[in-house]
Structure 1
Amino acid sequence: MRVIVIGAGLGGLALAGGLRRSGIDVAVYERDPSPVVRGQGYRLHLSDVGIDAAASVLGPGRWSAFLSTAHTPKARFIRFDTELRVLEEHDFEGRHLAVDRQELRDTLLADLDRVITYGKHLTAFRTETEHVTAHFEDGTTATGEVLVGADGVNSAVRRQYLPHARVVGTGLTQLYGKIPRRSAEDLDHVFSAITGSGHRVVGVALTRDYATCSFSARTDELPPEPHHMRQHQLRSLVAEMTYGWHPRVQRMLAGWHEIFPLALRTSVPIAPWATTRVTLLGDAAHAMSPAAGAGANLALQDAARLAAALSGGGPLISELRSYERGMAGSGFAAVRASAANGARILGQDPLPAC
């Protein structure tokens, strides 16, 4: 069997690694010209779901080496007001790791040098009785028995495969960046949120080497094109929007750097679909706001489940159908939970009806 994977994000890389460990031929095609051309975030939270999935696709040696780069935060979410008074606390069960996204990407990439082709923009695919052919903008093609859309929230595979599936705005924009770890040592939780009026939120979470710091607000409160703003302009904007908050918050924001903006979007859950040789994983199927901390975990879980399905030896369509039912079930449940948390804490728009 040959599997064509469109997209070299975390889910696509994890799937490729899991398939190679099972002896299945896999080829990954990525639209970006290299793995480091755009900001994708910094710190990731892995729960039991993501930890088990990453361990299964990486294997003992790679996973053990990766663990040495991870940080274990207190298993707690805390929400503060602007004077840093605690408004709510929630303790989590299970295992939790704070990891650097690039460290995880590098670990997943380690054995995939000959598997990934960059600069490949999918324009369409054609499904036939025994195979699927991907067509790229440069006129080339790739053929396999299965094609997997792991190409993120803007998935070209999803647009053709499930044209009725919608991705909508949440009404929120988030600015991601880093602050020195020493400025947030006492906020070593799975996540700490400092919430002000108008659903303005500063989020802080530690890794081994730094703390990630985010600021989210309603998109209509921000300038129309924040991605064109310089770092000092973004810092000044957020300092103004958090004016009067606790001095500690202002000191953290003064050290904010490597900031980039991201408009937050979400999938709208849909009913089960007819299974073919084409399938999806991760944000291509169930994108969500970060309010549930589940996106990366579910992308890794999808990858591990799909690798197991494709290497299980059962009838292909039956295995893919079982995978898709599980993927959509857990994925869309997380979309709904994320939307509910996002509405309560961040001011996210309500999730549209299916």
Structure 2
Amino acid sequence: MKVIVAGAGLGGLALANGLREAGIDVSVHERDRSPLVRRQGYRLHLSDVGIDALTSVLTPERRAALLATAHTPAPRFVRFDPTLKESDVVEHGGRHLSVDRRTLRDALLADVAETITYGSRLTGFQLAADHVTARFDDGTTVAGDVLVGADGINSAVRRQYLPHARIAGTGLVQLYGKIPAGLAEGMDNVFTAITGPGHRTVGVGRTRDYATCSFGARVEDLPSGLDVMTQDQLRSLVMDMTDGWHPLVRRMIAEWHEVFPLELRTSVPVPPWRTTRVTLLGDAVHAMSPAAGAGANLALRDAAALSAALARGGPLIPALGSYEQEMTDAGFAAVRVSAANGARFLGQDPLPSG
């Protein structure tokens, strides 16, 4: 069997590891020219879902080395007001870890680097009865038994395969950056949100070596051109928008660095589709706002489930159909939970109907 994977993000790399372990031929095609081209975030939250998926697809040695770098936060979500008065606490069960996104990606890259072609942007595909052919922007084609769209929220595979599937704005923009870990003292939780008037939110998440710090607001309350602002300009903007907040929050913003903006978008759930040799995973099909901390975990879960389904052998289409049913059930449920949490805590727009 030959599997073509479009996208070398966390889900695509996890899938490549699982397929490699099963002895299945895999080629991964990534539109970026290197793993370092785009800023994609810093700290990631891993729940039981993500931890179990990594256990499934990584060798014991790779997994142990990765988890040795992880930080264990208190298993709860805590919300404060701008004076740092506690307003909500949600306790979580299970395991929770904070890992550095680059460290996780390096662990997933280590054993499958030779399968990846960078600067290879998928432009389309052609389905036949016994194979699928992927086309790339350099004019090359690759034929295989299965094509997997792991190419993120702007998935070219999804655009052709499920043209009716919609991506919607949430009405929110977040600025992501880092702060020294010591500034997150007293906020070492799965996630800490400091919410103020006008749906302005400062979010904090610890790792072993630093803490992520994000600032979110309604898009209409932010100026245009965030992507061309300097670090000083971004800090100054957020200092103005958190005027009068607790001095610790102000110090976090003053020491903020490596900041970049990101418009938050979400998939809109769609009904089941007819299974073929083309399938999807992660953000390519069920992208969501970060309000449930589930996106990366579900992409890893998808990868582990799909590699296991293909490794079991047997008729291909029923195996893919079973994977897709479980993937969409879990993925679209998380989309809805993320949208509800985002509306409650962050001022996110309601999730559009399908």
Please report the TM-score for the alignment, with normalisation by the length of structure 2. Answer: 0.99
Equivalent in the alignment of 2:43: 43
Q: Is 1:195 aligned with 2:195?
A: yes
CA distance in 1: counterparts of 2:34 and 2:349, whole angstroms: 34
CA displacement, residues 232-272 of structure 1 (integer Å, 9 cap, x when unaligned): 00000000000000111001111100000000000000000
CA distance in 1: counterparts of 2:54 and 2:200, whole angstroms: 33
Equivalent in the alignment of 1:209: 209
CA displacement, residues 34-67 of structure 1 (integer Å, 9 cap, x when unaligned): 0001100000000000000011100211101111
Q: Is 1:134 aligned with 2:131?
A: no
Query: Secondary structure, in 3 states, of the residue corresponding to 1:11?
Result: helix
Shift of 1:23: 0.3
Equivalent in the alignment of 2:275: 275
Query: Secondary structure, in 3 states, of the residue corresponding to 1:152?
Result: coil
CA distance in 2: counterparts of 1:129 and 1:353, whole angstroms: 34
CA displacement, residues 195-233 of structure 1 (integer Å, 9 cap, x when unaligned): 000000000010000000000000111111201100000
Please tell me the residue identity of whatever aligns with 2:258: E
CA distance in 2: counterparts of 1:273 and 1:113, whole angstroms: 33
In terms of mean alpha carbon deviation, does 54-63 or 280-289 score higher? 54-63
Please tell me the residue identity of whatever aligns with 2:326: G
CA distance in 2: counterparts of 1:229 and 1:116, whole angstroms: 33
The 5 Å alignment of 1:25-64 reads: 25-64=25-64
Equivalent in the alignment of 1:90: 90
CA distance in 1: counterparts of 2:310 and 2:24, whole angstroms: 8
The 5 Å alignment of 1:216-227 reads: 216-227=216-227
CA distance in 2: counterparts of 1:162 and 1:177, whole angstroms: 34
Q: Is 1:150 aligned with 2:150?
A: yes
CA RMSD of aligned residues (A): 0.5
Please tell me the residue identity of whatever aligns with 2:338: S
CA distance in 1: counterparts of 2:220 and 2:314, whole angstroms: 51
CA distance in 2: counterparts of 1:284 and 1:180, whole angstroms: 33
Equivalent in the alignment of 1:107: 107
Shift of 1:185: 2.3
Give the number of aligned pairs. Answer: 354
Query: Secondary structure, in 3 states, of the residue corresponding to 1:193?
Result: strand
CA distance in 2: counterparts of 1:107 and 1:334, whole angstroms: 26
Taking only the aligned residue pairs, the percentage that are identical comes to 69
CA distance in 2: counterparts of 1:316 and 1:213, whole angstroms: 44
Query: Secondary structure, in 3 states, of the residue corresponding to 1:117?
Result: strand
Q: Which runs of 4+ in 1 moved over 2 A?
A: none
Equivalent in the alignment of 1:166: 166
Shift of 1:301: 0.1
Shift of 1:29: 0.1
What 5-or-longer segments of structure 2 have no aligned partner? none
CA distance in 2: counterparts of 1:141 and 1:28, whole angstroms: 13
CA displacement, residues 5-32 of structure 1 (integer Å, 9 cap, x when unaligned): 0000000000000000000000000000
Shift of 1:187: 0.9
CA displacement, residues 291-327 of structure 1 (integer Å, 9 cap, x when unaligned): 0000000000000000000111121000000000000
CA distance in 2: counterparts of 1:82 and 1:314, whole angstroms: 57
Equivalent in the alignment of 1:186: 186
